[in-house]
Amino acid sequence: MMMRLSSLLIALVLGGATLARAGTTLTVAAYPDIDRAVKEAAPQFKKLHPDVEIKVISRAIVDHHNAMTTALSTGSNLPDVLAIEFGFIGRFAASGGMESLSQPPYNAGQFQDKFVRFSYPQATSGSSGLIAMPTDIGPGSLFYRKDILDKAGVTEADLTRTWESYIEAGKKIKAATGAYLLPHVREIKDIYIRSNLRSGEGIYLDRNNTVLVDGPRFVKAFELAKAARAAKLDAKLQHWTNEWTEAFKRGTLATELMGAWLGGHLQNWIAPDSKGLWRAANLPNGAYASWGGSFYGIPKKAEHKELAWEFIKFMTLNKDIQLASFRKINAFPALVEAHDDPAFEEPIEYLGGQKARTMWRAAAAHIPATDVNKYDPVAEEIVNSELDKVLDEGKDIKAALADAKALIQRRVRR
């Protein structure tokens, strides 16, 4: 009798969903290459749930998150499972439209020790709790074109010794080959402000909503970005645009600062013809930072919540599924159990046979657990706007950051 009541309670909490009715379609909204990971895993999930069909709705990464932001605000056209890139966690948490996986009937806190230490905090925001389960992480990495460096007489050590040596190497590369050092100098700022944070520290605000953007971390980040722009080292390209992907294909970019997952994107769809030309290194100046990462969450108005939760656990807690995504799309596993697999020792052909995964695994162990704040998206937008004023209008750095702090404080007080 108690078991029947318990089952009824779970069904009521989940909106009356049953785990798998005949002909049930579970809808998953995703973006490249997470959509590939879902499609690859779908047949294995179907073996466990024969009556379930997986429908993947795939959009480009920016289009996906814009569409899901709209869907959460209107409460319509929502999937059962929603893939979320780390940079959008704060926005989705603030929407109030996501299930808190920390709470019953999910109780996802019981699994926290199974994941790398910084992944749960990345998807946890204030009163919302954990809004999504981590599936892959993004240890920050410096990707570079070895052939371009060779032509310029530049070494990997020149790129990574310090941030200043990275910029100096860029000057040599530009002079010798015409290639830009990186797509946009904002990336230097983005990586620098995320590097070597203390566990529990926020990027833009602390736990008491104290704004941090006028501190030395941001001043140095702005100074480095300004120096790189002054030397005309960036192509002034925005991530995920056609121009950005074309620059990779044409070989006009010498480096890119991103998460380890970029290797999979380069190999699978951005620049597959550049196989063997790219390499990966740790970030300059011995920095360690998390850059991106993917998560699965459940909208409050999802139709099949119980089944969605089963699917999310299947994608995130199953070692074999995590490793399959690792091999197929280079999605670095968030599940610690997967890190001991021999796959980490395998050479990556796209990276010229480099065994880069062991480097990324070591980097992941150094990355702290940083707090996510619901004001992070607006803080990032304001900081980027002030950086543009420094780069394009010559605004004083400290004045720009003071203005950024005031604007963020104003938004927090609303």
- Is pLDDT above 80 for 1? no
**Ranges 13-17, 34-38, 186-190, 251-255: which has the least confidence:** 13-17
Amino acid 201: pLDDT: 86
Q: What is the pLDDT of residues 83-116, one digit of tens each?
A: 999 989 988 998 999 999 999 999 999 999 999 9
Helix axis angle, 34-48 relative to 319-329, nearest 10°? 150
Which pLDDT band holds residue 259 (cuts at 50, 70, 90)? very high
- Report how far residue 361's alpha carbon sits from residue 355's, in angstroms, rounded to the nearest whole number: 11
Using 50, 70 and 90 to split pLDDT, how confident is the model at 16? very low
Q: Residue 75 gets which letter from DSSP?
A: T
Instruction: Please determine, for residue 11, whether its predicted confidence score (pLDDT) is greater than 90.
Output: no
How far apart are the C-alpha atoms of 135 and 129, rounded to whole Å?
Answer: 17
Q: What average pLDDT does this structure show over 145-171?
A: 98
Measured from the Cβ of residue 96, the count of other Cβ atoms closer than 10 Å reads 13
Model pTM greater than 0.85?
Answer: yes
Q: Which whole-number Å values give the CA distances from 51 to 43, 47, 361, in the listed order? A: 12, 9, 38
Region 31-53: mean pLDDT is 96
Q: Which two tokens stand for residue 9?
A: 């309670």
Q: Look at residue 12 and tell me whether its pLDDT is greater than 50.
A: no
Nearest CA among 149, 137, 208, 204 for reference residue 173:
149
Q: Residue 254 corresponds to which amino acid?
A: A
List pLDDT tens digits, range 309-335. Answer: 999 999 999 999 999 999 888 899 999
pLDDT band at 19 (very low <50, low <70, confident <90, very high): low
Counting every residue written for the chain, the total comes to: 414
CA angle 80, 18, 58 (to 5 degrees): 20
- Spell out the residues 6+ positions from residue 150 whose beta carbon is closer than 8 angstroms to its own: none
Bridge partners of 350, per DSSP, are none
Written as one letter, the residue type at 255 is: T
| CB-CB neighbours of 377 under 10 Å | 18
Rounded Cα–Cα distance for residues 220 and 239 (Å): 23
